[in-house]
Amino acid sequence: MSLWRLEWLRLVRTRRWIALVGVYVFFGLLGPVTARYLSEILSFAGGELQGATIEFPPPVPADGMAQYVSNVMQIGTLVTVVVAAGSVAFDALPEMGIFLRTRVPQVLRILIPRMVVTAVAVVVAFVLGSLAAWYETWALIGTLDARAVVAGVAYGSLFLVFVVALVAAVAGRAGSVLGTVMVSILILLVMPVIGIADAVGRWLPSYLAGALGALPSGAARPADYLGAASVTMAAIAGLTWLAVALARRREL
Amino acid sequence: MIRTTALTKRYGAGVAVDGVDLQVDEGSIYGLVGPNGAGKTTLLGLVSGLRRPTSGSLHVEARLEEIAVLPDTPKFDPWLTGREVVVLAQSLSQSKADRVDEVIHDAGIEHAAGRAVGGYSRGMLQRLGVACTVVGSPRLLLLDEPASALDPLGRREVLDLVARLRGVATVLFSSHILSDVQQVCDTVGVMDKGKMLFQGPLEGLLVGSALPRYVVRCRPPIEPVVAALAAEDWVQLVEQTSPDEASVTVRSLTDAESRLAGALAAAGARVISLGPEAVSLERAFLELTGQ
């Protein structure tokens, strides 16, 4: 049994793949429905507030994808952090860390399968969710520009790979799964706050998270995300190096 | 195989390992004994490379891949079966020989090998840990309390397994169960408060450290005999252990051999038997650690 198969079994037997695919596909199906029937949903819930009536403009196809992205980049990212932390924090239980570290001298050999398998699973779940959202948007509201959707999915996937690398680096310092989840979420929450300044925000990995919502609406062009994509790829490499360096320094 | 010089590990102001000179010969079974907090686990961690020494030197004649470590409470991914854990350990080792079935059998977990590890008892986890440790045919085994969670039969099996490694691999194992060490080790190290108090052959500890003690059996009443012996300056201690038996600790073997019989005769003792008390590792250990 290789370390790659071990990670595959972790994903399957702990049913983490169900959590990932379930969350992304659920929001993929829910987003366009919410966008299409938002006014009806609000009227059922009591749309009149002190005599005032809230009216929404007719939904456009981009709304379906925007609704999906706004949901999935919060809950989906949270699930991604939890799943990734459960895998990359391999020293969380020192006795289990000892099993691996005394048999595999290079930390990179332990870490890479965990990061890659988790990242692939997250990206597959995100793509499936996006396809579900795309199909349902087409069925309920209208067609979307395919090139814009594909580019948005690619940028969103890159952001999720960054999240996995970030969790791995945090795990290298925090050690425990809970500590890794908490610190990772804190960093991911702070990043958009820093990005409020547009000059900075356009270069941050978190900028990619909104690409799938913005590109089909025409509010942005794929080229607008190239800067953030470059920074994100560099950050993924840097965070992977940091994760290995921190794990190597840790004593058990 | 292992040689350390003034090896020290500090955690803040505390010293876990304090200037230890450890020498473990290739092919030997070395027992590291000491009370809780003596520094045994930290020393094993230093030797395995899982911890870095604060000072001192450490030389291990084995690559990291040739060393197998068994923690005192082994843990594994609970969703793997016992067999899968051993297969994983085998595949990550340098050894190409398939010994999975053999070590599962030797560890006595054949009946549970197909079950998820999450349902294993602590004793079964320890057996599984032993199987994982030996499956790769390592040159050096570092075992931290390998039999602590096992029932007497399980302990016996694990100790037999360790004993069979003599000459095949080098074993350094820690234990607070002194009889385990006495059964399988040819060399023993006694640690307390981070320091190595004794290191050498087991016989050296049993003969060299403990004061000679004799067991005297007399016809009752034995109290006058005890009082007479206690008055001798070469007698360290006399304890009456039963109505007709006393334990006599003497300053030296020479004193006992030349004076004890005469002193008993002078005290009017009607001696039934007289002989040296076998020194147990427990007694030697307690005397060394001052407990």
Class of domain B2-200: alpha beta
| Residue in A closest to B128 by C-alpha | A99
What pLDDT is recorded for position B88?
A: 94
Minimal Cα distance from B72: which residue of A? Answer: A95
Candidates A54, A51, A37; CA nearest to A140 is: A37
**Cβ–Cβ below 8 Å for B93 and A103:** yes
B79–A6 CB contact, under 8 Å: no
Structure tokens at A94: 């020192």
Contact B50 A101 (CB under 8 A): yes
HEC readout, A172-229 = HHHCCHHHHHHHHHHHHHHHHHHCCCHHHHCCCHHHHHHHHHHCCCCCCCHHHHHHHH
How many cross-chain Cβ pairs, A to B, lie less than 8 Å apart? Answer: 59
User: Which residue of chain A comes nearest to B79, CA vs CA?
Assistant: A13
A94 touches chain B (CB under 8 A): yes
Answer whether B79 sits within 8 Å of A13, measured CB to CB: yes
Distance from CA of B91 to the nearest CA of A (A): 6
Q: What is the pLDDT of residue A51?
A: 65
Q: What is the pLDDT of residue A12?
A: 94
Which residue on chain B is closest to A92 by alpha carbon? B75
Which residues from chain A sit within 8 angstroms of residue B136, using beta carbons? 103
| Residues in Cβ contact with B268 at an 8 Å cutoff, skipping those fewer than 6 apart | B224, B225
What are the φ/ψ torsions at residue B259 (nearest 5 degrees)?
Answer: -120, -20
Q: In angstroms, rounded to a whole number, what is the distance separating the alpha carbons of residues B121 and B117? A: 9
User: By a Cβ cutoff of 8 Å, what residues of chain B touch chain A?
Assistant: 45, 48-52, 64-65, 67-69, 71, 73-77, 79-80, 84, 87-89, 91-93, 132, 136
Chain B residues within 8 A of A104 when measuring between CB atoms: 92
Cβ pair B265, B279 in contact under 8 A: no
Where do the structural domains in chain A lie, given as residue ranges?
Answer: 3-249
Q: How far is CA B208 from CA B56, B211, B281, B285, in A?
A: 28, 8, 11, 12
Supply the pLDDT for residue B279.
66
Contact B74 A251 (CB under 8 A): no
What CATH number belongs to B209-289? 3.30.70.920
Query: What is the reported pLDDT for A50?
Result: 64
Provide the pLDDT for residue A250.
Answer: 86
User: Using CB atoms, which residue from B50, B71, B136 is nearest to A251?
Assistant: B50
pLDDT at residue A43 tops 90: no
Is A98–B71 a contact, with Cβ atoms under 8 angstroms apart?
yes
More confident residue, A82 or A252: A82
Q: Are A111 and A168 in contact (CB under 8 A)?
A: yes
Q: How confident is the model at residue A48 (pLDDT cuts 50, 70, 90)?
A: low
- Spatial distance between the Cα atoms of A85 and B221, rounded to a whole number of angstroms: 74
**CB-based contact A10 B52, cutoff 8 Å:** no
Within 8 A of B84 by CB-CB distance, chain A residues are 1, 9
For tokens 């090896």, the residue is B7
How would you write the pLDDT of chain B (291 residues) with one tens digit per residue?
A: 899 999 999 998 899 999 999 999 998 999 998 888 889 999 999 999 899 999 999 999 988 888 999 998 899 999 999 999 999 999 988 777 788 999 999 888 899 999 999 999 888 898 999 999 999 889 999 999 888 778 888 888 888 888 888 888 999 999 887 778 888 888 889 898 899 988 988 777 766 555 678 889 999 889 999 999 999 999 988 999 899 999 898 888 788 888 999 999 999 999 999 888 766 677 777 777 766
- Whether A161 shows a pLDDT value over 90: the answer reads yes
The pTM (predicted TM-score) of the whole model is: 0.81
Query: Which residues of B fall within a CB distance of 8 Å from A96?
Result: 75-77
Nearest CA in chain A to B116: A13
Rounded Cα distance, B172 and B24, in Å: 8
Every domain of chain B and the residues it spans: 2-200, 209-289
Asked if B140 and B62 touch (Cβ cutoff 8 Å), the reply is: yes
**B69 contacts A102? CB cut-off 8 A:** yes
Q: Give contacts of A101 with chain B, Cβ < 8 Å.
A: 50
User: Looking at this predicted complex, what is its ipTM?
Assistant: 0.83
